Chain A
């Protein structure tokens, strides 16, 4: 019993050790790091990356990937502010519309991938371009506005805890339960582990993929709504960085790019490692370019650690 459990959790275990060391080192070298203000700041930074990385975890678990995630973030942010234009009564209808549109894009991704068999990398890359082009036709520069009440999404507090971190915690928790406990979650792992075996076991792998890409787009819509609230204005290029940034925490978290192994638990640690690292380097006044270099090295080193552990 013991042996199996240790093997299973060892990768996640390593990620959390890395995270703990990072927190320890950062709090030693910076006295601001552990302050309440910085915590609040951090938790508002974590949210958008957190949403999309959780979504991306689903796609990668099925041995796929969603590169359209960033463009959906941009789309959600622009449409939200552009359609609401500060009008209070339109808040909820527009949120519903934006989420519906995102789900539709996810559906198209999944449908094309499972019907044609074209690699998800290509399908979602194409979709990224289509969606991004659509937004730029809609607006080429930051646009729109939201009413005060909409600020709550990014700036609100519930018992002094920033609302976005609570929302992220909810999304992460639901995802973990979804993947670990539900039939659908098991199908995700089975499809990514070996699609043919999954199919021969009676699993409709095409449907699994459609749902997975819809989840991806849904988390992208959440991130877009959050960013619209944080900035009060939609930006057609705000999501660009999430195309690749969403993948990094998933990989740091130990989910295999080949599918079937890993999970949201590791991704959460990956998100915090990624965010704390850039927060710490900011606090230490390190140039943004150095941050890129350090982040890149962390990805390569951590992922190669897992591969050593595997063999």
Chain B
């Protein structure tokens, strides 16, 4: 499917002000992925420019290049008419570009004022901080923003919305002309978002250029003058928001460029209930989640980052406790929910972040593969060496893991091969339910399709699979049923035949609530 747009959407010269920055033909590759492919972007003074796209579209990468956190492989940046190349964020800052990340760059134990001037403290004599000047300066910055925050208070005591304001004040103290905000609405909402918008408008009137990264369509129409849409690292187009409507933007965000092939689904089969959740809640993460999973099926869970999908997976597996609700596995109520108990009942959990909670990097391929089944391959207290080697060698062959030996530490393996080690580890427990959180994130196309084939084969053999994914084509192509989550809740269930990316995105952004998955 290839969606085309009127050519006029692309490269519109904007009349409001002068181009303060232009990025031309920016290309950036990471091992295994082309994050950005010849992307153009420009921004004028007094403009709020939204950068939109799905997870992994390349929004943040593009802005990190602008802010000097990454270097582009190709392409150039023209700032105020001069070609520039930043080797560090500090250098970009000196040229008037500031970026505010989702997770902020503040020191919790320092006060608001100290944070604003961190690294640039006014000095009396060499080495002595001139506190009166520092507090005076900070006070003025916050007044200009129309924000009331106690300057003496430690940042740790502030809420996220206020921390965001401190970040903005910090950017202003650096005399930033361009302020990039990386998904600010991911951390604030409601009234706080309103006041953020108010401040953005103030900044805009004073001639600053604001780049606003988001995947929430509503906000873009509220705040942005123009929007640049990215998709799979490519520029889809730059549009004037007042010229278009929401559905056009959604279409631009999801339009497919390359077709992917997924293994065929097998119809029929003898499906039985494996897992059932009734009103499962966890404070701050999950609200009243109910659904069922059957053998021989892949249940896809879609949603945006922060929708509660990973939290759901962790709660199911017993990695985090639940506050209320009931979980039944194979018809039996789960009482004690710990990872150890889950594994012994045949639940496997492939986590989202390989490095952080998927693999033990300092251990070998062999030891990672057998980590969850050591109890089954021991005699007395001793691991059966021969059996363990045999299991690992079989797995390496079966999963096509490319490593010089089973004794190689997993840290030296590529992302795709690391992922296959994790899959081998969990499939070795003979799971009746396998939870996969972003199973193909950051792995190359070849490894991806191997993972798909593997998942389908497992399902055909009777395993129930829950697949969390942010890649909509993957969700639609692989799932037998699709649940969409938003804000800790299940917003609706779709069948892959009726599901479109637009439909999923509507549910995932909370613009529409489908039939509830709670009706089990």
Contacts and interface: CB of A to CB of B under 8 A. Distances in A.
A261 B411 CA distance: 13
Interface stretch (B236-244, B360-368, B495-503): B360-368
A202 B404 contact: no
Nearest to A189: B363
B128 interface: no
A266 to B, nearest CB: 14
B306 to A, nearest CB: 20
Most B C-beta atoms less than 10 A away, residue of A7, A196, A201 = A201
Interface stretch (A33-41, A127-135, A176-184): A176-184
Most B C-beta atoms less than 10 A away, residue of A7, A8, A194, A200 = A200
A242 B433 CA distance: 50
A5 B404 CA distance: 11
A184 B362 contact: no
B381 A184 contact: yes
B363 A1 contact: no
A110 to B, nearest CB: 18
A67 interface: no
B161 interface: no
A241 interface: no
A4 B407 contact: yes
Given A189-B367, A190-B360, A194-B361, A204 B408 contact: no
Contact of B382 (A182, A187, A194): A182
Contacts of A7: 408-409
Nearest to A191: B360
A4 B375 CA distance: 26
Nearest to B319: A200
Given A4-B404, A8-B407, A183-B375, A200 B383 contact: no
Interface string B122-162: 00000000000000000000000000000000000000000
Contact of A200 (B349, B364, B381): B349
A70 B319 CA distance: 37
Contacts of A203: 340, 371
A69 to B, nearest CB: 24
A190 B366 CA distance: 13
A186 interface: yes
Interface stretch (B181-189, B350-358, B445-453): B350-358
B317 A1 contact: no
A199 interface: yes
Contact of A182 (B319, B349, B381, B406): B381
B343 interface: yes
A196 B362 contact: no
Interface in B96-133: none
B360 A4 contact: no
A169 interface: no
Interface string B424-447: 010000000000000000000000
A10 to B, nearest CB: 12
A202 B359 CA distance: 13
Given A260-B360, A260-B363, A183 B381 contact: yes
Given A183-B374, A200-B317, A200-B357, A5 B363 contact: no
A189 B374 CA distance: 13
Interface residues of A, number: 29
B367 A202 contact: no
B461 interface: no
B367 to A, nearest CB: 7
Contacts of B374: 183, 186-187
Nearest to A7: B409
B404 A186 contact: no
Contacts of B351: 200
Contacts of A5: 405, 407
A186 B371 contact: yes
B383 A181 contact: yes
Interface in A84-139: none
Contacts of A186: 367, 371, 374, 383
A261 B409 CA distance: 11
Contacts of A183: 374-375, 378, 381-383
Contacts of B391: none
A3 interface: yes
A142 interface: no
Given A183-B375, A200-B317, A200-B349, A4 B405 contact: yes
B385 interface: yes
A294 interface: no
A189 B349 CA distance: 21
Contacts of A197: 357-360, 371
Contacts of B361: 193-194
A180 to B, nearest CB: 9
A22 interface: no
Interface string A244-285: 000000000000100011000000000000000000000000
Contacts of B165: none
Contacts of A196: 356-357
Contacts of A199: 319, 339
A172 to B, nearest CB: 18
A199 B342 CA distance: 12
A198 interface: yes
A58 to B, nearest CB: 15
Nearest to A1: B405
B385 A181 contact: yes
Interface string A208-244: 0000000000000000000000000000000000000
A204 B367 contact: no
8 contacts: A190-B367, A194-B359, A197-B371, A198-B371, A201-B339, A202-B339, A202-B342, A260-B360
Top 8 closest pairs, chain A to chain B, by CB = A4-B407, A193-B360, A202-B340, A202-B343, A4-B405, A260-B362, A201-B372, A1-B405
Interface of A: 1-5, 7-8, 181-184, 186-187, 189-190, 193-194, 196-204, 256, 260-261
Given A4-B407, A190-B367, A190-B371, 18 more contacts: A3-B404, A3-B405, A4-B364, A4-B409, A8-B407, A182-B381, A183-B375, A183-B381, A183-B383, A186-B374, A194-B359, A194-B362, A197-B359, A197-B360, A201-B425, A202-B340, A203-B340, A261-B362
